[in-house]
Amino acid sequence: MSKNSECTINASMLFRRFLNDTREIVQDTIFHTRIDKKNNMNMTSKRIIFEQDAHIHYFSYSNKKDLFKDNPVSYVRHKNAYNILKNLKKGKYNPDIFLDLHGLTQYQAQKALGELITICQKEKFCCAHIMHGYGKNILKQQIPFWLSQHPDIIAFHQAPKFFGNDAAIIAIIEIHSSI
């Protein structure tokens, strides 16, 4: 018998003696019941859903212009906000909120953009980062068109290299002050 095998036998005996008075842990399984969302929806959640859906009607498929054929994607609503667009191009804005649209359909992406604008206005976030990815370039082509239709979007531009380059867009959203 070698010296190493004696060590392993002693260690094994010591381990068994140490675990002599232990017992197996019983795993408790917790089953969550499904809550019926229609009956338990309160007025504030109904209002939030209404606000999110209110932003969706700005995004349409019709009257599509070929505004964004050339890269990089850039847009400014008013010419007097051109400095905002210049700062977006240079990467001077840090996004307050991120939205990942990877794997979503066009309808789901529109709904997510509506939610993003609602959240930004509610939480007073002015800069949003929207990741659409590459894929089949469907969302990459549609998102600039949808954002340009919305009246609360001041400007947007293709994200700088450290924020995703041409697989993302950084948008500046107008914040309405509530009285």
pLDDT tens-digit map of 60-106:
655 555 555 555 588 888 888 888 888 888 888 889 999 999 888 89
| Domain range summary for the chain, segments of one domain joined by + | 42-173
Distance of CA 32 to CAs 29, 35, Å?
10, 9
**Which overall architecture, per CATH, does domain 42-173 show?**
2-Layer Sandwich (3.30)
Q: What is the pTM of this model?
A: 0.62
Closest CA to 118 of 50, 52, 45: 52
What is the per-residue pLDDT across 110-148, written as a single tens digit (0 to 9) for each? 989 989 998 998 999 999 999 998 888 888 888 998 998
What sign for the dihedral angle of Cα 41, 43, 45, 48? Answer: positive
**Coil vs helix vs strand at 105:** coil
